[in-house]
A and B are shown apart, each in its own frame.
Chain A
Amino acid sequence: MSTSLLLQYFVIAVAVLLSVWVVAKRQFPGIVRKLRVAIALPLLREGRPAWMQLVGRWISPVKQTAADGCGGCDSCGPKI
């Protein structure tokens, strides 16, 4: 396989993975949140190396401070 083709496949893989992430976050926010918590918790346990804790903090979802609101099309209809 040529380098050019390899590079193309790499770009496609990144695009596909990013798309999976966008769709999952948008359509299944609850599941994604639980998944992030499940992955982050073991990394944040006491005694883990600093880099692992850093990754854990990066993965863990931000604290929810608001109701999940519309979550759909970001639009609002006419107000009367």
Chain B
Amino acid sequence: MSAAAPLRLALVGNPNSGKTALFNQLTGSRQKVANYAGVTVERKEGRLVSRSGRHYAVLDLPGAYSLHAASLDEAITRDLCRGYLPGEPAPDVLVCVVDGTNLRLHLRFALEVRELGKPMLLALNMADVARRRGIHIDLAVLARELGVPVVETVAVQQNGSAALVEQLDRMAEGLQPPQRQIAQGADLHQETRRLLAAAVQMPTRTASIDGALDRWLLHPVFGLVALALVMFLIFQAVYAWAAPLMGVIAAATGWLGDSVGAVLPEGPLSSLLVNGVIAGLGGVIVFLPQILILFAFILALEESGYLPRAAFLLDRMMASAGLSGRSFIPLLSSFACAIPGIMATRSIQDPRDRLATILVAPLMTCSARLPVYALLIGAFIPQRQVWGVFNQQGLVLFGLYVAGILSALMVSWVMKKWRRDKGEHPLLLELPSYRVPQVRDVLIGLWERAWIFLRRVGGIILALTILLWFLLSYPAAPGDGTLSAIEYSFAGRIGHAMTGIFAPIGFNWQICIALIPGMAAREVAVASLATVYALSAADDSAAAQALTPLIADGWSLATALSLLVWFIYAPMCISTLATIKRETNSWRKMSFATIYLFALAYGASFVTYQLAVLLGAG
């Protein structure tokens, strides 16, 4: 090898072993992200210069449970490690990253990698967590028994990969294949058990706690009851705990609007700032506490190790509805946003299961729907206790989430019947040990969520609010106009034209206007309604009112219910549709998703509205 050519390292390992965190620490910002040729599997390459000045090209391979590939990701990893992937030179060194807290699973894969006979290094990641849990790993014995160097890494700690880089520098002097191979006739599980017995001492306490908890939480009946209870409590908390903070934000927004209105002279700029920007953004930002409470629970569950168990519990139900157990993770991700959820379907090996998951992922209630739900529930569902314990608004929110889940199961079941598919694919999932969530990690996660939300508010939502204000304000009413000014505006005319289609489902022209910018981001619908009502208010005091009482007075319950149902189904997100197109590489499938979701939304809203009117809620 020439002195100038960097040594090629490939990071391999099971999913969630911390490969990507280690990759980020090794390469920092010196990364290039692309796709492997012809497939939608992400390829991440970065550069590393060690203290000794040696250059390395680092490749972060897709996570794999085995080199006997069961998915596209695993096939890419297998082919690249072997040097068979077209256009990709074989790596010089394989850095196998294993989770120190879950060696029983991860070492099995490390042994498979070792059998390739290439120079290899074992990075024992999450070494700090393993130590905290009382797992004692004898590195020297493990290295001797494996026949490859073993180093500890802590990918989430500064300098947590220093030992790895030093070892790489030592190895680079003369690359050696592994010193041991698996014995003829021995199987990988047997060999893993031998290694664990020789080099690892597990605390008995962790295993016994896990066992005791799993007996209840993975029970086919009690486990499902516990899962339902957990979800139910989350939605109760979203309403019960967020109210005081929401009140503070609403008051602050109102004060800001009044202050800006008092300082600026009457004119278009004052209208833009007060009725457009402050009313619009204030209407969305008020829901930040609810979003953060929801995510605090999700992050805590994720940290605790409970989520994979929920996947295990729901596997049978999902399989009978035409989805794979592997669909659980993408669908769960879709509760945050359908886009990463749809992208996560890459781990589903069966193309039909993958397509079914992609098509139903937009039915999961993403966080962008929460402001819309919260607004309508706040306006139309009285805040009172049910059976002396439950918050009625929380119950309705829980019902909306359940409606999304049941609809997804129903749609996938219909698709399964349609394609006459009887095959099922077994679920292979790693169940980590239970652990108490670290407050710091949850807070970091919440900070990230808050920052993402605020960036959206300051970016796309602000831009759309300004555009909507412009469309609602111009052209101005003619001198002899008899209607309110907004009715002569571009948006007013568009809204009135759209009511021809949406009147049967109870939408007025204000809602119709809000649906258009809502296609860019669902929560913009709330900002748009706030702007529409602020601009169409008869006087300033009416304009300064919060949106909730305005729609409570102006809409019927039937309209509100119809709009809630619309938002369960309608694919009001251009980015999601674009992601479906990219992931399926098919305009036809994307069009199918769009049409079926809009048809479902319209049909369900129509039935809801007409029924509600018949029952006297119109």
Contact = CB atoms under 8 A, between A and B. Distances in A.
B488 to A, nearest CB: 18
Contact of B339 (A16, A23, A71, A79): A71
A4 to B, nearest CB: 7
Given A18-B463, A23-B464, A77-B344, A69 B33 contact: yes
A11 B459 CA distance: 18
A38 interface: no
Contacts of A70: 339-340, 343, 579
Interface in A11-43: 11-12, 15-16, 18-20, 22-23, 26-27
Contacts of A78: 298-299, 301-302, 307, 332-333, 335-336
Contacts of A62: none
Interface residues of A, number: 31
Contacts of A58: none
Contacts of B520: 23, 26-27
A80 B265 contact: no
Contact of B267 (A4, A26, A80): A4
Interface residues of B, number: 55
Interface stretch (B176-184, B448-456, B563-571): B448-456
Contacts of B576: 72
A15 B277 CA distance: 11
A11 B269 contact: yes
Nearest to A7: B269
B460 to A, nearest CB: 5
A12 B269 contact: yes
Interface in B265-304: 265, 267-269, 272, 298-299, 301-302
A71 to B, nearest CB: 6
Interface in B312-338: 329, 332-338
Contacts of A80: 16, 302, 307-308, 311, 329, 332
Contacts of B368: 73
B367 interface: yes
Contact of B464 (A19, A73, A75): A19
B34 A74 contact: no
Contacts of B459: 22, 26
Interface in B1-59: 16, 32-35, 42
Contacts of A50: none
B266 to A, nearest CB: 11
A65 interface: yes
A69 B462 CA distance: 23
B268 A9 contact: yes
A66 B466 contact: no
Interface string A40-79: 0000000000000000000000000111111111111111
A8 interface: yes
Given A12-B268, A16-B470, A27-B574, A66 B32 contact: yes
Contacts of A4: 265, 267
B33 A75 contact: no
Nearest to A64: B34
B148 interface: no
B169 to A, nearest CB: 28
B575 interface: yes
A79 B455 CA distance: 22
B575 A72 contact: yes
Nearest to B330: A77
Given A67-B34, A70-B340, A80-B302, A75 B367 contact: yes
Contacts of B367: 75
A75 B302 contact: no
A67 B42 contact: yes
A78 to B, nearest CB: 4
A68 B582 CA distance: 10
A71 B452 contact: no
B207 interface: no
Contact of A26 (B33, B34, B268, B460): B460
A59 to B, nearest CB: 20
Contacts of B455: 74
Contacts of A20: 463, 467
Given A4-B267, A11-B269, A76 B336 contact: yes
A74 B455 CA distance: 9
Contact of A73 (B265, B298, B456, B463): B456
A66 B32 CA distance: 6
Contact of A22 (B33, B339, B463): B463
Nearest to B470: A16
Contact of A15 (B302, B311, B466, B579): B466
A53 B51 CA distance: 42
B329 A15 contact: no
Nearest to B302: A78
17 contacts: A8-B269, A16-B467, A20-B463, A23-B464, A23-B520, A67-B42, A69-B33, A73-B575, A76-B333, A76-B337, A77-B336, A78-B298, A78-B301, A78-B307, A78-B332, A78-B333, A80-B308
Given A20-B463, A79-B16, 5 more contacts: A26-B520, A78-B298, A78-B307, A78-B336, A79-B302
Top 7 A-B pairs, shortest CB-CB distance: A77-B333, A72-B575, A72-B339, A77-B336, A19-B463, A80-B307, A22-B463
Interface of A: 4-5, 8-9, 11-12, 15-16, 18-20, 22-23, 26-27, 65-80
